[in-house]
Structure 1
């Protein structure tokens, strides 16, 4: 076994030994390739700042990347950061800090480890009308926006489960009115995508924004920032400091990379004890915007279809959709282990596994993410266990904590998902998923129509290869119109057994459209009866479930289930991210 060492203070002309380490992961990768898959790369303490993503291929099979001393009391704190520190601040008379950042483009900012918010206002002032190109308002306030081409409108709740974003193309005055022209094709796509009929009411397109972000005129709240890109290649960062912050001492980091690590086709590689941090995702800033539909999916054109939800109720949805990417991705890999790592301060999702087989994610933490935590699409025998996902979906509120789509034999076990804006754990169509002994707390914090655990579509072809949802504890599913444990939209071949659901708007629902088929609810414990329990539809078997209206009785009856749900390991304070979250 060959051992190589990488340190922020190293030199790529050195031999990569413990005494004379390399400076970059790229150089260590090249050295490891020469060993034909028999190498361990040890990362020494500190922040490693790569100039570009680390790309791994089949040629990197067999290599282990780990923090120095991993698994021992001497394990060092190692961060792989795609960020760039911002210095050379100017302080204006209004107290706003400004810095020239060249062509650097980003959507997030981190101040002493805290996620700063983009400056914004609640919505459009004045009386506003909506048209095919944008808006007309009787307020002159938008004429005072300093860089209107950088302004972004946020649309929360176009559908109860969606939150979209669209940029402004320009602002002009027209007599006593102000005309706001929106980016195309995003604004036109919205008229295609968002069409619904519900209880005799119809809607089309975005409607009015719920929030407007990213202009210097909005810098009113301490701890917020704006990126002014009105001069190409001469971008300016503006930041209104919080109390006690000093431009000479405060550490401000802007993400520069969109991807930190991409592995395609690699076999038997491992990453252990590494923090992946400070990356962005720029796609929503383009004229195509971010037309969210559900979960991590968004619309890129290509037409829509209509789902009939009942008599007189329907919504349109994408015929095809894209998914929010992750800043760390593994595609068509096999025998990969990701253990004891942390994914934090990222502008997309944290970790994505696409295709492949035999991937294990164990003992990881994911927090402070604009998108979701862990996503699995396709592939076989992926295991996610003993992993803590919390404070994710901070920019894209539909993002789930853990999502599994189109996979076979995926196991999601003994994880904790907390403080997420929509679903905690999502399982879409696939075969043989096992969702076992997880704990979800404070899910559905922003958007509606979801649950702590959510399944939809076919999960197999028989009881033998169907999905099993067992021994999970689901608490505090928060926004109105939710179902703590939710089998939805034609879910079939699902067994829901021995779970505990408490403090949800509704514990579960048995009648949905399209209907459930071959779904069994057995031996679950609720604090309120599921909707439809007294007359289950033909596709649902409902037996041996118990409802305790008294919380003390529920807790006593389910103490054994609760003791086995959630993380195996104790939360380590040094890795908890509590000091870096501004939620």
Structure 2
């Protein structure tokens, strides 16, 4: 018999604890066991506050929230106080029952399918080779090599080829289906690739660039996920044919004392069409994304977009000299936490980590805010906003994202109206820091990006493309940002590209980039103003700005100390307003 706290019931407060009971009344004294049960109770009450107590709350299926869940807040117990508890919603499964063989750990995992693994909270990389062994030629169905090493692969159908730099901004993934051949000189080992992915790759990746014409994906730059590749401590391979997980431990790790978690769910939370919902102080962790493992592979083109069939278009980069083929339409890497068609939803003080796709996706809706959150250890982007209006992305610390899908930007906007990205810090990412595609009224203000463009090329700390409204009043403003250390060759720290129009770029600081900015792009810029910016080198085209660009009052200061002194005020206002642990 449970004692019911009448005051808590009347206030619509519901509690969840990892040692709770779903048959309990959900009070502080007798909490529920699952967040699903608490959501059900709040729904029946017409809204309320769900308090999650400390610990890891494992989801066995996505938490689906709808319009009926409007008016509910989900928060860590004690949120906003010195006694706030650490809460994680996890879509993972702890791996146990390890046995040791030849210095490796093996576990029988049944029908487990995942692309990531975390060991004591640390990301374990998939076991890999740096290149396909032997002298390799391309065939209609895959590859032929004179090396017999692929005949020793334990589970060829689990092997995946990575193609980095198909275009400077592109990285694709295609699976192997079979390896056939016999040992012997001149016999040749045939590697068959997944279809339709391989055929589609030949249709998609074609270009003439800097005098070189290429067709198809070429040779892989990395070969992943086979037990025979396990040579580096801290790496793993999943053998689905034998239902076995292999892990090569690091020094000091012991099966009985080391916690190993495999992400299982692809979506943790999906909120549709609800209003007035908040997620406060929660952790979201341990999700995967299995689409790249399917026969369609992951045919990346740009940013968060990938090709899944359909029309292909040829785009001229330089008339008569350079062109590329691109998807007529693209799919977008999904998010593990999704807000779809929602209104007046707050995501505040949360952490998104150990996720196999994008962390948080906002699609449609209005009046959404993402404030004071941490995003790290993500396979794709941190935040994706599409087709929403009046969205605020503020004071978020984003780092070490795009770990599996290197084209993924830290923050991505497309089709938005009056979206403001302000006071964020984006660091240590493989491509762009902040990206804005077509939109209206976009504001990218006082952000700090450091260590962007670490893997792929042709991007920037902040990248914006396509028309941004129909006038200066409805256009985009990029102002007060500090962009440092844009790493790879062939990048532009602050990059307005591909027909950007109605954009004002003012009082930004760009330093230590391959190129600070570029004014001459294709299609050309229209009604773009560069005013009062500070650089350590002149932007390309600034000596003779094209007709669509106004370039005035900008300063180039090559000396780093002098530049820092001249821009101290801008630097002081850029980036996070809160302290974070680096």
- Alpha-carbon contact 1:155-1:209 (below 8 Å) kept: yes
2:540 is matched with which residue? Answer: 531
2:438 is matched with which residue? Answer: 429
Q: Shift of residue 35 of structure 1? A: 1.4
CA distance in 2: counterparts of 1:36 and 1:321, whole angstroms: 39
CA distance in 2: counterparts of 1:307 and 1:501, whole angstroms: 30
After TM superposition, the structure 1 = structure 2 runs for residues 199-214 of structure 1, keeping only pairs within 5 Å, are: 199-214=210-225
Of the candidates 95, 108, 111, which is equivalent to residue 116 of structure 2?
108
Whether 2:49 is the aligned partner of 1:28: answer no
Of the candidates 241, 244, 250, which is equivalent to residue 230 of structure 1?
241
CA distance in 2: counterparts of 1:138 and 1:77, whole angstroms: 54
After TM superposition, the structure 1 = structure 2 runs for residues 71-220 of structure 1, keeping only pairs within 5 Å, are: 71-92=80-101, 94-173=102-181, 176-220=187-231
Question: What is the SS of the residue equivalent to 1:560?
Answer: helix
1:495 is matched with which residue? Answer: 504
1:67 is matched with which residue? Answer: 76
Q: Which digits, 9 at most, give the CA deviation of each residue in 1:27-57, with x for residues without a partner?
A: 00110011112x0000000000011110000
Q: Which digits, 9 at most, give the CA deviation of each residue in 1:368-420, with x for residues without a partner?
A: 00000000000101100000110000000000000000000000000000000
CA distance in 1: counterparts of 2:168 and 2:138, whole angstroms: 20
Q: Which digits, 9 at most, give the CA deviation of each residue in 1:350-377, with x for residues without a partner?
A: 0000000000000000000000000000
2:307 is matched with which residue? Answer: 299
Q: Which digits, 9 at most, give the CA deviation of each residue in 1:89-133, with x for residues without a partner?
A: 0100x2110001111110000001100000000111111111221
CA distance in 2: counterparts of 1:140 and 1:88, whole angstroms: 34
2:571 is matched with which residue? Answer: 562
After TM superposition, the structure 1 = structure 2 runs for residues 377-396 of structure 1, keeping only pairs within 5 Å, are: 377-396=386-405
Q: Shift of residue 200 of structure 1? A: 2.7
CA distance in 2: counterparts of 1:61 and 1:307, whole angstroms: 45
Whether 2:260 is the aligned partner of 1:252: answer yes
1:240 is matched with which residue? Answer: 248
The alignment covers a number of residue pairs equal to 568
The two structures have a TM-score, normalised by structure 1, of: 0.97
1:362 is matched with which residue? Answer: 371
Q: Shift of residue 199 of structure 1? A: 2.8
After TM superposition, the structure 1 = structure 2 runs for residues 540-551 of structure 1, keeping only pairs within 5 Å, are: 540-551=549-560
1:485 is matched with which residue? Answer: 494
Q: Which digits, 9 at most, give the CA deviation of each residue in 1:120-174, with x for residues without a partner?
A: 0011111111122100111111111110000000000000000000000101116
- Alpha-carbon contact 1:139-1:178 (below 8 Å) kept: yes
Question: What is the SS of the residue equivalent to 2:541?
Answer: coil
Of the candidates 10, 13, 34, which is equivalent to residue 23 of structure 2?
13
- Alpha-carbon contact 1:192-1:303 (below 8 Å) kept: no
CA RMSD of aligned residues (A): 0.7
Question: What is the SS of the residue equivalent to 1:72?
Answer: coil
Q: Shift of residue 230 of structure 1? A: 1.1
1:464 is matched with which residue? Answer: 473
Whether 2:273 is the aligned partner of 1:265: answer yes
Question: What is the SS of the residue equivalent to 1:129?
Answer: strand
Structure 1's consecutive aligned runs of 4 or more residues displaced over 4 angstroms after TM superposition are: none
CA distance in 1: counterparts of 2:211 and 2:18, whole angstroms: 63
2:421 is matched with which residue? Answer: 412
The two structures have a TM-score, normalised by structure 2, of: 0.97
1:289 is matched with which residue? Answer: 297
Structure 2's unaligned 5+ residue stretches are 1-10
CA distance in 2: counterparts of 1:203 and 1:266, whole angstroms: 48
Q: Shift of residue 217 of structure 1? A: 0.7
CA distance in 2: counterparts of 1:79 and 1:33, whole angstroms: 22
Q: Shift of residue 247 of structure 1? A: 0.5
Structure 1's unaligned 5+ residue stretches are 577-583
CA distance in 2: counterparts of 1:56 and 1:490, whole angstroms: 39
Whether 2:525 is the aligned partner of 1:516: answer yes
Q: Shift of residue 201 of structure 1? A: 1.7
Q: Which digits, 9 at most, give the CA deviation of each residue in 1:261-311, with x for residues without a partner?
A: 000001000000000000000000000000000000000000210110013
Question: What is the SS of the residue equivalent to 2:565?
Answer: helix
1:580 is matched with which residue? Answer: none
CA distance in 2: counterparts of 1:198 and 1:215, whole angstroms: 35
